[in-house]
Amino acid sequence: MICSHLSHRLKNRSIDKQWINILVNFGTVRYDKQGSMSYHFDRKAIGRMISAYGQDFVNKNLSTLRKLYLVERIDSDKIVTVAYKTKRVKRN
């Protein structure tokens, strides 16, 4: 579900709406303890995209794909934000 806040963020950050669908369908999900989940592209997600879209499409958009992430609320299924990563995500 796209709300007004999200549409402003997409416009401000020059993110195409097609990336939201690709993130949700192929991205890797991480849950946090505050009731939200984030989608991002890692090696496995990019491998799934290669099998669906082909190597040329992924190579053309790889720099954008690696930086993109999406945050969604679990309880309401609303997308909170979509942004580009500027720092490396540390895992436990």
Mark 68-91 as b/e (b = at least 16 C-beta within 10 Å): bbbbbeeeeeebbebbeeeeeeee
| Res. 55: pLDDT tops 90 | yes
CA distance 36 to 11: 23
pLDDT attached to residue 12: 82
| Segment 46-54 mean pLDDT | 92
pLDDT attached to residue 10: 80
Task: Check: CB of residue 85 under 8 Å from CB of residue 54.
Answer: no
pLDDT attached to residue 21: 87
Write the pLDDT tens digit of every residue in 36-47: 999 998 899 999
Domain ranges of the chain: 4-84
| Res. 4: pLDDT tops 80 | no
Overall pTM > 0.85:
no
